[in-house]
Amino acid sequence: MNLSKFSKIVFTILCFSAFNSVQSQAQKEFHNWASTPPMGWNSWDCFGPTVTEAEVKANANYMAKYLKPYGWDYIVVDIRWYVGNDKAHGYNEKDPDYVLDQYGRFMPAINRFPSAAGGKGFKPLADYLHKKGLKFGIHIMRGIPVIAVKQNLPIKGTNFTAKDIYSDKDQCKWLHDMYTVLPEKPGAQEYYNSLFELYASWGLDFVKIDDLSSPIYFEGEIDMIRKAIDRTGRKIVLSTSPGETPIAHADHVQKNANMWRTVGDFWDSWQQLKEHFEVFDRWNKWRAYGAYPDGDMLPMGKIGIRAERGDPRMTAFTKDEQYTLMTLWTIFKSPMMFGGNLPDNDPFTLSLLTNKNVLKVLNESTNNKPLFTEKDKAAWIADEPKTGAKYLAVFNTSDQKLVTEEKAAWNSGVISRTTPNQSIKLDIPVSNAKKLYLVVNDGGDNTDWDHANWIEPTIYIGNEAVKLTTLKWKKATSGWQKPRLNLSVSGNSLITNKIKYENGIGTHSNSIIEFDLPEGVSRFTATVGLDEACISQNVGATVKFLVFTENPSGPPPPPTAKIAINLKDMGLLDTYTITDLWSGKVVGQFSSEFAPEINTHGAGLYKIVKVKK
């Protein structure tokens, strides 16, 4: 072997070793990029797949002015920024106007993001945010674009093409933009490398990757993404979605991501919020420095403006429920991504986001864990490491018992995706009944995607058939959004078993719709089933339909309750000054027991400091 050739080999080995060393160091350091739970704004809850550059900048301007001093700094453009003609209330999969480059990488739609013109991508927008001291994030879907495969576009820097690395197996069920990338295929890692080279050149600081962790956990693609991010040398926080991430993969996701979803899409529903107590209890042990179980976004403020689901509204959460949401996310140390349109915030919403004492708990507390989780109450505790003080979060989760199933005149049993036609028919006698209550309950796996339809509900007076939808209901509740007449709960057509209906009621568990019946009603008939919107989802979509002729609900709980906390259970054996962190007021001095009075669905957050003798 001549000297020249030997020198080249040595040089190559040294370069390869240096590169591996850099990669290894990056893999050790990426948790430092999120030393505290990431806090920011995401466009999903208010603008769905249709957000524009002007709207992003408006939210960034608000954040820079009002929220940045309190630690809020991420601005995240959510799903389908690469489609020029997407729509609210779903996705345009009929004729999407995709924008992508010659290497099969999606680019921002210029009609929505004008500064991206001329191949600049998101760099001008990222520069705008960085000048304000903010950080820039985007949402992407796992895999390689279907259109890139169909056009057999090349993978940058290789002799491979999109067709060489894809599979149509395990394609996302609810959005069909992408195909799976097979990790074992030559060119697969290079494809992800090319993606993150592009994103790093834009100045990306955060990436949320969807269809990555539930129902299938794509470990191979997560490994490729982790390597691609580390290879760029840029600090890009990795957020995996959706949830619940399979807990069997908790160790892997903790070691490779900065945050991962613990639930499906979370909206402004008390039932969904209450479910988080169980979920957070389950995931608490998997939190680590720079790696956070993610309870999903905060559906607060003005949401639903052009969302995938729901109409424009201020959050349906009551003020007490918003205190519960913020307190629970804080004591659990979940990432906080605000979902509402920030410029529409009212003073109350802003006050929830700018309480320094509360945010100190989020960012600095340690040893966070539940003290107890019971049917009607819960409490969490944590430490303030610098002073030895304790933090205590107390929750009143008491609820009215909405439904006593044993009293039902008819019960469908559980209806799910596997039920033939995802629906069944009912025909029951209701003679002499004065009332009719149409009830939808969750099927035992919480309320995720429980979109339910009462199709062609009809009452019979003698031989006369009367559409129930021609009567005005007296009261109607829904676990998400509001029941709708002749539409699904998300505002789309009533579609069950692929059949579109003009007459019916769309709702979402848990739901009660109450009607006063006219004299002489003898029978009630309907078809009941899952709405099309939930059939293709990853989770949930299991419901029970019930019919009552008497009020199915129990008495409401008291408006407040004293929740006793045994301080000895917290290891506190002396006398302590307790301060309410939300109000900033000293509650008093306590020993042995502290029993704050908490509003129903409300919460308190306290700091406990030993009294000096």
Cβ neighbours of 461 (radius 10 Å): 14
Query: Which token pair is 101?
Result: 């480059």
Domain assignment of residue 457, given as a range? 405-548
106 and 228 inside one domain: yes
Residue 578: inside a domain, yes or no? no
Residue 22: inside a domain, yes or no? no
With a pLDDT cut of 90, the percent of the chain lying above it is: 88
**CA distances (Å), 434 to each of 464, 470, 474, 521, in order?**
18, 17, 12, 9
Provide the 3-class DSSP secondary structure of residue 7.
Answer: helix
298 and 418 inside one domain: no
CATH of the domain at 138: 3.20.20.70
184 and 47 inside one domain: yes
79-103 tens-digit pLDDT = 999 999 999 888 999 999 999 999 9
91 and 222 inside one domain: yes
Residue 386: inside a domain, yes or no? no
Residue 537: inside a domain, yes or no? yes
Residue 202 CB partners (closer than 8 Å, separation 6+)? 121, 122, 123, 126, 136
Higher per-residue confidence, 58 vs 401? 58
CB 82 within 8 A of CB 109: yes
295 and 177 inside one domain: yes
Identify the DSSP state of 118.
G
Residue 8 confidence (pLDDT): 44
Residue 254: inside a domain, yes or no? yes
Residue 418: inside a domain, yes or no? yes
Cβ neighbours of 278 (radius 10 Å): 12
For the cut 90, the answer to whether the pLDDT of residue 3 exceeds it is: no
For the chain, give the mean pLDDT: 94
523 and 420 inside one domain: yes
- The angle, 0 to 180 degrees and rounded to 10, between the axes of the packed helices 219-232 and 188-202 is 50
Residue 560: inside a domain, yes or no? no
307 and 414 inside one domain: no
Q: Structurally, how many domains does the chain consist of? A: 2
Higher per-residue confidence, 522 vs 448? 522
CATH of the domain at 535: 2.60.120
Task: Please state the rounded mean pLDDT for residues 561-573.
Answer: 95
307 and 415 inside one domain: no
Residue 539 confidence (pLDDT): 80
Query: Which token pair is 467?
Result: 């559409």
Question: What single-letter amino acid sits at 238?
Answer: L
102 and 248 inside one domain: yes
CB 221 within 8 A of CB 210: no
Please, which residues bridge with residue 194 across strands? none
Burial code (b: 16+ CB inside 10 Å, e: under 16) for 551-588 equals ebbeeebeeebebebebeebebeeebbbbebbeeeebe
Please, which residues bridge with residue 561 across strands? 598
Residue 194 CB partners (closer than 8 Å, separation 6+)? 103, 105, 155, 156, 157
Domain end (from 548, 579, 598) = 548
209 and 86 inside one domain: yes
257-282 tens-digit pLDDT = 999 999 999 999 999 999 999 999 99
308 and 415 inside one domain: no
Residue 372: inside a domain, yes or no? no
For the cut 90, the answer to whether the pLDDT of residue 176 exceeds it is: yes
* Predicted confidence band of residue 591 (pLDDT cuts 50, 70, 90): very high
156 and 260 inside one domain: yes
Residue 499 CB partners (closer than 8 Å, separation 6+)? none
Q: Rounded distance, CA 253 to CA 523, Å?
A: 54
CB 594 within 8 A of CB 558: no
Domain end (from 491, 524, 548) = 548
478-525 tens-digit pLDDT = 988 899 999 999 888 999 999 999 999 999 999 999 999 999 999 999
Residue 25 confidence (pLDDT): 54
* 3 state SS for 190-211: HHHHHHHHHHHHHCCCEEEEEC
Domain end (from 531, 548, 565) = 548
